Structure 1
Amino acid sequence: MGSMMASDFVPHARVYVAWPERTDTWRDNAMPAQLAFAKLVAVLARYEHVTLLVSPEQKDNASMMIRRSLTSRSDDDGDLREISMLTLPLDDAWVRDTGPTFITDKETNKLVQAVDWTFNAWGSTCFQEYENDDAVAARVAEHARVACARSDVVMEGGALCCDGEGTLLVTEECLLCANRNPSLSKAQIEGNLKTTLGVSTVIWLPYGLHGDTDTNGHVDNVACFAAPGKVLLAWEEDANDPQHARSLANLEALASARDARGRELDVIKVHQPPPIVRRADEAEGVVTSLEAKARPEGERLAASYINFYIGNGVIVAPSFENEHADASAHAILADAFPARDVVGLPAREFLLGGGGIHCVTLGEPER
């Protein structure tokens, strides 16, 4: 008996997506990002109900763009019935991090409560004003009609990955970063996670992804559970690439670990795409602001095939315009999730804003 952080692969009642609009994060008045988000919503609506978080000022624009995305894909507007909107003020669109961590019953995997972590914009890494986003978790929990407990620990959903059987994956690079919880030791953070999330084993990977300076190394860019006992790991073969040493260190940590049930982990390597950098036109399209992180030309972006969404019957997987690398990664995901369709979605616009498909989606477990 008891409860635990939901795994990503439990059945969902809905998926939350937040609408982007910051011009100092998203290029060209956020229009390319909005088109990418609209396409994402159109894909998700084939498989589960989508609740879009959107500011009052953007509600009509979001409705129009999503409708266009749906009708460009099909002559049938039926998927519109699977999309609802929750209007609220937003600072940005990273609902995985600003939304609640859902807790489910250990026996039934049904939703029982939620955790509202303190959000400080990744240690004020990306923007300085974040009061609206710190309120998102409570609003989402209220919408889900589930009890929500506020935590004074700074944490984000993308920093946590649970197998649903008592094992949690995190990275030291992120959770021990001084801009989150400087007064807490590693042991204290682990103890809080065990108590709050109902897990018994925390596996600490040393590193996040090279270049993931926005989140200080979230785990959802480097490793995730495909099932209890099975971990997908971002892998870089090239010894001259800075990610190579990080991948090796994370593999060593996983190889020596045991999960909550005492099992060795089956680690599946998912090769990284070739390095992706921000083009001049992409950098020029971002409004310079003292309130937000700079997005310079030539910056290497934290691209990862691990940053995908697990939905009801679907894996929405990132594509990075490299036919061979995309096909190889998607084939591994198809083998790891044989009961789900693997749908590739161009992910460059998410990447330009600092994240991926997993970062902008949040599944709500069924009741």
Structure 2
Amino acid sequence: MEIEGTPALHGYHMPAEWEPHSQCWMGWPERPDNWRDHAGPAQRVFAEVASAISKFEPVTVCASAAQWANARSLLPQHIRVVEMSMDDSWFRDTGPTFVVIKPTPSSAAPVQKIVGIDWNFNSWGGYDDGCYNDWSLDLLVAKKILEIERVPRFPQSMILEGGSIHVDGEGTCLTTEECLLNKNRNPHLTKEQIEAELKSYLGVKKVIWLPRGLFVLLNGNAKGWVKATRGFWKTKGVWRAVNREGNLKKLCSLREVALELGKVLVQGIRSFRAFMGHTLMEWDTRLSNIMVRWSHGCLWKATLLKSFRTFPFTSVLWRGMERESDFGKIYGDDDTNGHIDNMCCFAKPGVVLLSWTDDELDPQYERSVEAFSVLSNATDARGRKLQIIKLHVPGPLYMTDEEASGILQDDNAKLRVAGTRLAASYVNFYIANGRIIAPVFGDQKWDDEAVRVLSLAFPNHEVVGIKGAREIALAGGNIHCITQQQPAIA
């Protein structure tokens, strides 16, 4: 059943994620062009996540007809498995956003206590920038879940993913400009119009906009280089199309010069590294970050650095080249364009957890400091200053050759290549009824620190670390991204 108007108009609001749940919804991964080794390792991790959540609240896992029997065999019997077609398993982004109402004693007629918002979806960027070319099945996921639960539906034409918003349940929403204002989402809407839609559908009173999300570098993607510099080349009249393989059909003279200079420089560095052996990994990473800062604000330097992304052998050296320059935005988290759920979330009203790094040479440092400044000067919907808890990121972590080789590389989905910096963040956790299901990545120092910080932030919750969370990060997200809570109603 569809409801006319907007949720806020009817008195609905999105509750905080720590409020009681009736169940958790998850999808089941299978596409081989996003999950390595035909999704086998990821399926085992999904089963571990579902099992951990199911000890504190019911879980429903949706799997395709081809995968239903496999999912059923890997999951405990008390977890419900239903057949549902989908393009991929990111239910945070494709599932419904549930909103609730607290009926007043004076209500003249029975009121539906819970309804769902069915946002529009375009695979995180559409045909040019999205993660896969066909998302027609994902467009139906939210509607199917609401049909199964017999929950009324508010359709929304605005493109929005659940991972791009966080709320405190008391009128405040967190999001990022990098994602919601991206031209590959809703180019026809202004910031003010998008904020008005968030207020009308989530029932919030105030939106806090962080500039950017988590830093991630997609290595070796020439198409990504061209996409990032499109605005500059177009204004100079030298933009040329890129074919499906990511090769330039024609190069402008400035880029040709940069490529030639790059070949000489990279060959020299390769020779030096070969002579010194593989002990220079840390040196490579830090040098790349220094080069990023060297290039900032200078077009020809930035062009030179970005040109190196066309060379497959620069997977280690040029990991840190993604940042802003004078020719426009060069995205960090290239899958979601800076979802808030990897960057910052509420721990309770007035308290936020922020992804952080102490390494000033890490490009993430600038993003974290930038966000800290915004949050420090912000108040929530009730006028409270925010307490900011820093949650240090792991690594940095990168996709290995072995991991990349297990992923099918075709024209139907975004390439996953060795050397890509993973979107690894401890902020990307799920709050179950009395339990925090958090990713851990094998970085012992920061894994332990994350568990400690989360335990202090949620003293009434047990913190459970999922050791296989790296498998989810390889595909572009993590535990919060693959889960969708359904609030409990009185």
TM-score interval (norm. to shorter): over 0.9
Aligned to 1:27: 36
Aligned to 1:102: 98
Q: How does 1:1-367 map to 2 (within 5 A)?
A: 2-67=11-76, 80-81=77-78, 83-105=79-101, 111-124=113-126, 125-211=130-216, 212-346=333-467, 347-367=469-489
What is the CA-CA distance between 1:354 and the residue it aligns to? 0.6
What is the CA-CA distance between 1:99 and the residue it aligns to? 0.3
Instruction: Please list every run of 5 or more consecutive structure 1 residues that lacks an aligned counterpart in the other structure.
Output: 68-79
Identity of aligned residues (%): 47
SS in 1 for 2:143: helix
Give the letter for the 2:85 counterpart: P
What is the CA-CA distance between 1:47 and the residue it aligns to? 1.1
TM-score by length of 2: 0.71
State the alpha-carbon separation in 2 of the partners of residues 215 and 230 from structure 1. Answer: 25
State the alpha-carbon separation in 1 of the partners of residues 188 and 50 from structure 2. Answer: 40
The answer as to whether partners of 1:106 and 1:164 remain within 8 angstroms in 2 is: no
Note the alpha carbon deviations across 1:126-148, whole angstroms, 9 max, x for none. 10100111110111112222111
User: 1 or 2, which has the higher strand percentage?
Assistant: 1
The answer as to whether partners of 2:175 and 2:340 remain within 8 angstroms in 1 is: yes
Give the letter for the 1:178 counterpart: K
Q: Quick one: structure 1 residues 32 and 227, their matched pair in 2 at CA, closer, same or farther if it must change by over 3 Å?
A: same
What is the CA-CA distance between 1:111 and the residue it aligns to? 4.9
SS in 2 for 1:4: coil
State the alpha-carbon separation in 2 of the partners of residues 160 and 365 from structure 1. Answer: 16
SS in 2 for 1:153: strand
Note the alpha carbon deviations across 1:311-362, whole angstroms, 9 max, x for none. 0010001101012111101111011111111000021000001100000011
Q: Quick one: structure 1 residues 312 and 107, their matched pair in 2 at CA, closer, same or farther if it must change by over 3 Å?
A: farther
SS in 1 for 2:334: coil
Shift >4 Å, 4+ stretches = none
What is the CA-CA distance between 1:42 and the residue it aligns to? 1.4
SS in 1 for 2:408: coil
State the alpha-carbon separation in 2 of the partners of residues 4 and 236 from structure 1. Answer: 34
Give the letter for the 1:185 counterpart: T
Structure of higher CA gyration radius = 2
Aligned to 2:246: none
What is the CA-CA distance between 1:55 and the residue it aligns to? 0.5
What is the CA-CA distance between 1:86 and the residue it aligns to? 2.1
The answer as to whether partners of 1:234 and 1:269 remain within 8 angstroms in 2 is: yes
SS in 2 for 1:137: helix
State the alpha-carbon separation in 1 of the partners of residues 187 and 410 from structure 2. Answer: 27
Instruction: Please list every run of 5 or more consecutive structure 2 residues that lacks an aligned counterpart in the other structure.
Output: 1-9, 105-111, 217-332
State the alpha-carbon separation in 2 of the partners of residues 42 and 235 from structure 1. Answer: 29
Note the alpha carbon deviations across 1:61-98, whole angstroms, 9 max, x for none. 1111224xxxxxxxxxxxx22x1122111100100000
The answer as to whether partners of 2:103 and 2:113 remain within 8 angstroms in 1 is: no
Q: How many residues align?
A: 353
State the alpha-carbon separation in 2 of the partners of residues 48 and 198 from structure 1. Answer: 26
Give the letter for the 2:472 counterpart: F
Give the letter for the 1:20 counterpart: P
What is the CA-CA distance between 1:3 and the residue it aligns to? 1.9
SS in 2 for 1:151: strand
The answer as to whether partners of 1:318 and 1:345 remain within 8 angstroms in 2 is: yes
SS in 1 for 2:114: strand
Give the letter for the 1:207 counterpart: R
The answer as to whether partners of 2:170 and 2:381 remain within 8 angstroms in 1 is: yes
SS in 1 for 2:186: coil
TM-score by length of 1: 0.94
What is the CA-CA distance between 1:171 and the residue it aligns to? 0.3
Give the CA RMSD over aligned residues: 1.3
